[in-house]
């Protein structure tokens, strides 16, 4: 029981610790931040599931599994909200990223068809 109380106190302390945001607004930094927050949330969910199980002391792997799933979900979320083009030109600086496909339903002569598109270069002139 003492270990469970210690785990709850550590998780609560980590939940209220503010993370310092960097001045650079890069896609990689945003992706890493999202993965880090995902790991924290996943670990807290795993800890909660562990605490409501019938024998909490034998299910510490729930915390690590939750953190792992949170890292994957956070990284996926970071990729989805990142740049939509392969290369993006902004204020004379080229940013490279992973192009995100967009799905749309287009009307054709015979009905409707799914279309997939992605931008290779995005910029303002």
Digit-coded pLDDT (tens) for 22-34: 334 576 788 888 9
Instruction: Give residue limits of the domains in the chain.
Output: 1-82, 84-125
The pTM (predicted TM-score) of the whole model is 0.53
Q: Residue 1's pLDDT is what?
A: 66
| Residue 109: exposure state from Cβ atoms within 10 A (0-12, 13-18, ≥19) | exposed
Q: Please, what is the angle between helix 61-80 and helix 27-52, to 10°?
A: 150
Side-chain-side CA neighbours of residue 9 (13 Å): 6
Mind spelling out the 3-state secondary structure of 17-41?
A: CCCCCCCCCCHHHHHHHHHHHHHHH
Assign 117 a pLDDT band (cuts: 50, 70, 90). Answer: confident
Q: What gap in Å lies between CA 52 and CA 44, rounded to an integer? A: 13
Query: Percent of the chain scored above 90 by pLDDT?
Result: 23
């Amino acid at each position: 029981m003492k270990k469970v109380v210690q785990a709850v106190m550590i998780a609560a302390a980590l939940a209220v610790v503010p993370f310092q945001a960097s001045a650079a607004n890069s896609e990689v930094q945003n992706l890493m931040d999202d993965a880090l927050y995902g790991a924290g949330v996943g670990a807290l969910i795993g800890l909660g599931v562990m605490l409501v199980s019938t024998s909490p002391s034998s299910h510490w792997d729930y915390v690590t599994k939750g953190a792992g799933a949170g890292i994957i979900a956070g990284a996926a979320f970071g990729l989805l909200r990142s740049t939509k083009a392969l290369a993006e030109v902004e204020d004379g600086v080229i940013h490279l990223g992973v192009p995100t496909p967009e799905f749309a339903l287009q009307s054709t002569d015979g009905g409707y068809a799914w279309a997939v598109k992605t931008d290779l270069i995005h910029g303002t002139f």
